[in-house]
Amino acid sequence: MMAAISVARSSCGLINGLKVSLRSVTRVKYGAVSATVPQTSLHRSCRWYSVSHLSVKERIDQKRQAALQGGGQQRIEAQHKRGKLTARERVQLLLDPESFVETDMFVEHRCADFGMEQDRNKFPGDSVVTGRGRINGRLVYVFSQDFTVFGGSLSGAHAQKICKIMDQAMTVGAPVIGLNDSGGARIQEGVESLAGYADIFLRNVMASGVIPQISLIMGPCAGGAVYSPALTDFTFMVKDTSYLFITGPDVVKSVTNEDVTQEELGGAKTHTTVSGVAHRAFENDIEALLNLREFFNFLPLSNQDPAPIRESHDSSDRLVPSLDSIVPLESTKAYDMLDIIHAIVDERDFFEIMPNYAKNIVVGFARMNGRTVGIVGNQPKVASGCLDINSSVKGARFVRFCDAFNIPIITFVDVPGFLPGTAQEYGGIIRHGAKLLFAFAEATVPKITIITRKAYGGAYDVMSSKHLRGDVNYAWPTAEVAVMGAKGAVQIIFRGKENQAEAEAEYVEKFANPFPAAVRGFVDDIIEPATTRKKICQDLEMLASKKQVNPWKKHANIPL
Amino acid sequence: MTLWMIGNMAAHSVPSTLKRLLFAVKYSPLQSRCCAVQREAQYSTISIPSEKTFDKILIANRGEIACRVHVKMADEAVCVGSAPTSKSYLNMDAIMDAIRVTGAQAVHPGYGFLSENKEFAKRLAAEGVAFIGPDTHAIQAMGDKIESKLIAKAAKVNTIPGFDGVVKTAEEAVKIAQEIGYPVMIKASAGGGGKGMRIAWNDEETREGFRFSSQEAASSFGDDRLLIEKYIDNPRHIEIQVLADKHGNALWLNERECSIQRRNQKVVEEAPSTFLDPVTRRAMGEQAVQLAKAVQYSSAGTVEFLVDSKKNFYFLEMNTRLQVEHPITECITGLDLVEQMIRVAKGYQLQHTQDDIPINGWAIECRVYAEDPYKSFGLPSIGRLSQYQEPLDLDKVRVDSGIQEGSDISIYYDPMISKLITYGATRAEALGRMEDALDNYVIRGVTHNIPLLREIITHPRFVSGHISTNFLPEVYPDGFKGHQLEADAKRELLASAAVLYITAELRSAKVLGTQRVASTPVECSHWELCVELGEERQDVEISKSGTVYTVEMDGAKVEVWGALNLASPLLPLTINGTQRMLQCLSRDAAGVIVLQYLGTLFKVRVLSKLAAELNSYMPEKVSEDTSSILRSPMPGTVVAVSVKPGDTVAEGQEICVIEAMKMQNSLTAVKQAKVKSVHCKPGETVGEGDLLVELE
């Protein structure tokens, strides 16, 4: 994969300065076409028509044709050989048939150095395809980087095209989807390219919380370029063909002497299981794009819009008897929170976000009676469902997305507390845990909480408790809201006393049930698990008109 | 976790017999799934209000079995221990305690577990508690295979040559086997049915069989004795239901054909048998009654025979309990066997004479198991029943089960989900109902054997009645591969998948509520799709007019009509005018739709024409080489690991033994290789697909 090596080098350029990038320019495969490379007939014709006296109409047609060809047939074939689709094929597949409206098909790069000014090095549209279209009839703006043109590298013109559709998406109020497949900065353009990145970054930041932004990484994305996906709301990846890293394996080797492959360093598996940079990974381009369509159905177009409602075939008052027996009688025994979620939501349809990262918390989108909801649940199956650094951050980011885009949040609680230990304390569990607390507390969307079993200690407060403005808080009969588990509590209360077992039994009798919370009004009701779906659907109906405003501020200062 | 429950008999259909029941269930809360075919068929039993009844009966068994014993709801439950059977249902002390605590006057043991344990019957007698079943001496006589054969011989019942007793060593087993002459079958004397039965054709297999059977005998039944006897090739397994009272009266209630078996466990049963003529039936029935009388049998019992192709029959064994397949006898005779057992235990005389016992219609029973029929006709599978819906709205269908949606199928018990029974005036009618019942049965979360069951009951050989206990290996010599689609059926399947896909697409495009940015409505009534099934790809054109979809492919047209509910697991469709019940198991964004059609699961992929074209550029992802790794084919417990790293194993050599659902399964090497690493140790619990051993 020569392309990827070039990525590493160009990214190194971005980090270490322009000088390095320029030095590496001769080694970059997807740099300018050098004079010795045989020219394709297309290139020849390009040069030919630029000096001929064709009518404007003919020239328009020719440019359009050239734009549709991207980097030419050979490069398209090479792209296919890598198991990747071209930028245009991707757009076609992502959007409804015939809905794509392209912008800036005639934009060309403006670089005049290193022979780039020659006609054969100019491609109408440059290395990105931009425009708008529809997904299931709903408006969306799209950019799709074209790896067949200079390895999809980002020129000033390329950046400008992306910025243009982002600006329009902001004024209209519609999401932006980026399909990333780029070798990095257009090194020939030097600082122009860096400026282009920054222009995009700024727009990503301005758009954050205004319109949903989704990145799908479908090839290399390295160096400074990674920060655009990082700033968007969701980053998805394609397995085996996409990479995200700040510096490639070569630089890593020279700086830290670590031997690491591209896949290990920044492949889909790494980012969906270890780093938490990406939210989901899909088998190939087709599956990724089709899933993206499905995902898009959950999202509102902007923060001006309510969560979308789809026709539901699943009745809102469906009882779920299987839930009555799902929580094991032994409180130490695990169960799968996903079973509860699947059984409750419409049609068992749950789009999980980050399913393989920080698995002790489950987050994702579903529908209740057709209406999109965000689901957060502790996962007793993994690390007893405790909160730790990674799960807090995962949960917090998801909650904030839902709050920003008017998506009601349903929280299933079975949490024994925060994870103890030096690793967590040194890692800053205090400030990271605070993020989740902050996110739930500031959220003003409808918040419904169901305590299925344990809700211990500070973690109880954090998990969308009544005290953090939970709108409706339920407890199942198996709920235990307490400062801590019986054993620990008894050891403190009755320290040194004999008959600990008896004391423990007494504590369990008193506190290991929903009553202490219910008598204080900290839960609104104790409900039969089978009725949970019905109750939530009714509550969401009522909460649809909820209005709650936080005090005016420039912005809050969430602990980062 | 095991519970005992005490049932209030108010819901009993024959309420005068007893007031309260007490029974054991694994799952709580319990809802009875017993839908009585008999309610329509009408039991011939006459309730006699003056008969004094038991006040409270303990049913010492699991949910599905306890539930069968006519209980709607139970009102007391007692935990008898943790999940492994040796600590719960086989734990006599715990059960005796339960009897004392609840004050039960009688115990119904159900089937399996302690139902044929003479020790248990003795202890009950000592406590003055009635055992609903035969007397101890009959259990002892018939539970002991040597004695039962001797008694049978003396009672002029046809028997087959064999040996029964404690076999100390493998060599001794070999000697006995040689005396009888191969083939021989080996099993634990105490085990009922074909459980743990192994066939040996040579000395080597005898040794292996000895090892397994003796281990199983000890672990499952706490009784070391083994039975080795002549194995009759190509036989039918036909059994006679007998019913006897304590006054010397005994009846035969006709036969049950139980030849469809896998690994010597029954899968499909029917009553009556297509094979028996009235003369043979009478001969078998009379011998069965002779045997019952010879041991002064009381209660319901079953005399099992092997019947060869010439209608010679040999006594196999007598089961001194109610059997799993008893409902089909109830269906065709109109007798409630449980009620009769209770009456007999209370000391009443039989209400019927032999002439009162009819054969009315035909009944079929399918045993629905949580197991994967694609692996050796059924290897255990576990999981949580995420969705579970019995076909109870169908006429003349009865389902006996002790589970419900949300139940866990664990490795600790028999993997039976339910007994599905259908009844009809004729065999064809009963079979037709069974087809419908299987198609309407929704089971999600565990792999089940409905694909196999449906194939069996529709197989021409089965339909014609030409069966033997070797039916499965003969019909599927390379193992069960699911329903093989013919061209028409395949078109129907692909058309259904395409219609489902379009329905979902159209729904996605329908956004409700007011929208700030208007969405462009998708107004389309014609689509070009590509449908993939396995390696095959098929271009499909669909047009929609009203609720009718016309699907064109291969020059043929398929009309699909159906009000598709995307939330429902059942998809009732009318395809080319024929009503079909399909099931949708899953549907994902990438176009993969898993449908159950004609019992079998098919994974179909529906893509737009564009996506299908582009899909050809997508690389095939290589999967791992499986010849050098051994993964657990099912969830279970590792009993033994026979190799260590560095050992060289020959092809077919045993690597380890996994016990699941009370069966021991030997896992062997598929090639000759050196053992690289071992990832399991005896006593460990492993899940399906867990890595056990790696070879080099």
Instruction: Write down the catalytic residue from A458, A503, A518, A530.
Output: A458
Q: How close, in Å, is residue B525 to chain A by CA atoms? A: 14
pLDDT band at B649 (very low <50, low <70, confident <90, very high): confident
Q: In whole angstroms, what is the distance from residue B235 CA to residue B311 CA?
A: 10
Cα of first residue to Cα of last residue in chain A, in angstroms, is 37
**Phi, psi torsion values for A141, nearest 5 degrees:** -100, 145
Q: What is the pLDDT of residues A182-193, one digit of tens each?
A: 999 998 898 999
Q: Which of A234-243, A487-496, A537-546, B557-566 comes out lowest in average pLDDT? A: A487-496
Nearest CA in chain A to B524: A97
A173 in B contact zone (CB under 8 Å): yes
Do residues B22 and B7 lie in contact, with contact meaning Cβ atoms separated by under 8 Å? yes
Instruction: Give me the mean pLDDT over the A344-350 stretch.
Output: 96
Nearest CB partner across the interface for B610, out of A92, A134, A291: A92
Q: Tell me whether residues B568 and A313 touch, CB distance under 8 A.
A: yes
Would you say residue B478 has pLDDT above 80?
yes
Would you say residue A28 has pLDDT above 60?
no
User: Is residue A496 among the annotated active site residues?
Assistant: no
Best residue of A77, A280, A325, A337 to probe chain B, by most B CBs closer than 10 Å: A325
Nearest CA in chain B to A326: B406
Q: Tell me whether residues B404 and A322 touch, CB distance under 8 A.
A: yes
B154 in A contact zone (CB under 8 Å): no
Instruction: Give me the mean pLDDT over the A503-524 stretch.
Output: 88
Instruction: Give me the mean pLDDT over the B94-111 stretch.
Output: 75
Beta-carbon contacts below 8 Å between A and B: 130
Q: In whole angstroms, what is the distance from residue B622 CA to residue A239 CA?
A: 13
Would you say residue B537 has pLDDT above 50?
yes
Q: Tell me whether residues B590 and A287 touch, CB distance under 8 A.
A: yes
Q: Which of A71-80, A479-488, B646-655, B662-671 comes out lowest in average pLDDT? A: B662-671
Q: In whole angstroms, what is the distance from residue B124 CA to residue A235 CA?
A: 68
Query: Whole-number mean pLDDT of chain A?
Result: 89
- A-facing residues of B in 54-113 (CB < 8 A) are none
Do residues B631 and B348 lie in contact, with contact meaning Cβ atoms separated by under 8 Å? no
Q: Is A101 buried (19+), middle (13-18) or exposed (0-12) by CB count in 10 A? A: exposed
A339 in B contact zone (CB under 8 Å): yes
Do residues B607 and B530 lie in contact, with contact meaning Cβ atoms separated by under 8 Å? yes
- Which of B345, B445, B279, B292 lies closest to B131, judged by CA? B345
User: Is residue B321 among the annotated active site residues?
Assistant: yes
pLDDT of residue B82: 53
Q: Is B290 buried (19+), middle (13-18) or exposed (0-12) by CB count in 10 A? A: middle
Compute CA B290 distance to the chain's CA centroid, rounded to the nearest angstrom: 31
- Range among A221-225, A522-526, B18-22, B215-219 with highest mean pLDDT value: A522-526
- Which of A280, A187, A176 lies closest to A228, judged by CA? A176
Would you say residue A124 has pLDDT above 80?
yes
Which contacts (CB < 8 Å, 24+ apart) does range A190-193 have?
A: A190/A18, A190/A21, A190/A22, A191/A18, A192/A110, A192/A111, A192/A155, A192/A156, A193/A153, A193/A154, A193/A155, A193/A156, A193/A159
pLDDT of residue B47: 59
Residue for token digits 């980053």?
A235
Would you say residue A459 has pLDDT above 70?
yes
User: Is residue A458 among the annotated active site residues?
Assistant: yes
Do residues A321 and B405 lie in contact, with contact meaning Cβ atoms separated by under 8 Å? yes
Q: Tell me whether residues B519 and A343 touch, CB distance under 8 A.
A: no
Instruction: Give me the mean pLDDT over the B684-688 stretch.
Output: 81
pLDDT band at A544 (very low <50, low <70, confident <90, very high): very high
What length does chain B have?
Answer: 696
Helices (H), A70-216: 73-81, 87-94, 156-172, 191-207
Sheet harboring B54-59: ordered strands across? Answer: B74-76, B3-8, B18-25, B54-59, B106-108, B130-131
Q: Tell me whether residues B568 and A283 touch, CB distance under 8 A.
A: no
Amino acid at B383: G
pLDDT of residue B5: 32
Residue for token digits 């095939």?
B620
Q: In whole angstroms, what is the distance from residue B686 CA to residue B660 CA?
A: 10
Q: Tell me whether residues A138 and B511 touch, CB distance under 8 A.
A: yes
Q: Tell me whether residues A322 and B589 touch, CB distance under 8 A.
A: no
pLDDT of residue B475: 94
Q: Tell me whether residues B617 and A139 touch, CB distance under 8 A.
A: no
B517 in A contact zone (CB under 8 Å): yes
Instruction: Give me the mean pLDDT over the A39-56 stretch.
Output: 58
B515 in A contact zone (CB under 8 Å): yes
Q: What is the pTM of this model?
A: 0.83
Q: In whole angstroms, what is the distance from residue B618 CA to residue B636 CA?
A: 38
List of chain B residues whose C-beta atoms are within 8 Å of the C-beta of residue A347: 566-567
Q: Tell me whether residues A313 and B618 touch, CB distance under 8 A.
A: no
Instruction: Write down the catalytic residue from B68, B198, B321, B433.
Output: B321
Q: Residue B314 corresponds to which tokens in the numbers above?
A: 């040999």
pLDDT of residue B413: 65
Q: In whole angstroms, what is the distance from residue B323 CA to residue B342 CA?
A: 15
More confident call, B191 vs A207: A207
ipTM of the prediction: 0.88
Query: Whole-number mean pLDDT of chain B?
Result: 82
B520 in A contact zone (CB under 8 Å): yes
- A-facing residues of B in 481-510 (CB < 8 A) are 507-510
**Phi, psi torsion values for A126, nearest 5 degrees:** 55, -150
> Which residues are paired to B673 by β-bridges?
B649
- Which of B387, B412, B578, B201 lies closest to A321, judged by CA? B387
Q: In whole angstroms, what is the distance from residue A178 CA to residue A10 CA?
A: 21
DSSP per-residue codes, B77-146: ----BSSSGGGTTT-HHHHHHHHHHHT-SEEE--SSTTTT-HHHHHHHHHHTPEESSS-HHHHHHHHSHH
Q: Tell me whether residues B405 and A322 touch, CB distance under 8 A.
A: yes
pLDDT of residue A17: 38
List of chain A residues whose C-beta atoms are within 8 Å of the C-beta of residue B591: 290
- B-facing residues of A in 74-113 (CB < 8 A) are 80, 83-85, 89, 92-93, 96-97, 99
List of chain B residues whose C-beta atoms are within 8 Å of the C-beta of residue A80: 617
Q: In whole angstroms, what is the distance from residue A389 CA to residue A424 CA?
A: 7
What length does chain A have?
Answer: 560
Q: Which of A149-158, B96-105, B209-218 comes out lowest in average pLDDT? A: B96-105
Q: In whole angstroms, what is the distance from residue B275 CA to residue B313 CA?
A: 12
- Which of B446, B433, B445, B452 lies closest to B581, judged by CA? B433
Q: Tell me whether residues B520 and A99 touch, CB distance under 8 A.
A: yes
Nearest CB partner across the interface for A339, out of B386, B590, B621: B386
Nearest CB partner across the interface for B567, out of A286, A306, A346: A346
Q: Tell me whether residues B516 and A323 touch, CB distance under 8 A.
A: no
Do residues B420 and B438 lie in contact, with contact meaning Cβ atoms separated by under 8 Å? yes
pLDDT of residue B2: 30
Would you say residue A70 has pLDDT above 60?
yes
List of chain A residues whose C-beta atoms are within 8 Å of the C-beta of residue B385: 322
Q: Tell me whether residues A329 and B611 touch, CB distance under 8 A.
A: no
Q: How close, in Å, is residue B388 to chain A by CA atoms? A: 9
| Three-class DSSP category at B690 | coil
Query: For chain B, how big is the Rg over CA atoms in Å?
Result: 27
pLDDT band at A19 (very low <50, low <70, confident <90, very high): very low
- Which of B257, B276, B243 lies closest to B354, judged by CA? B243
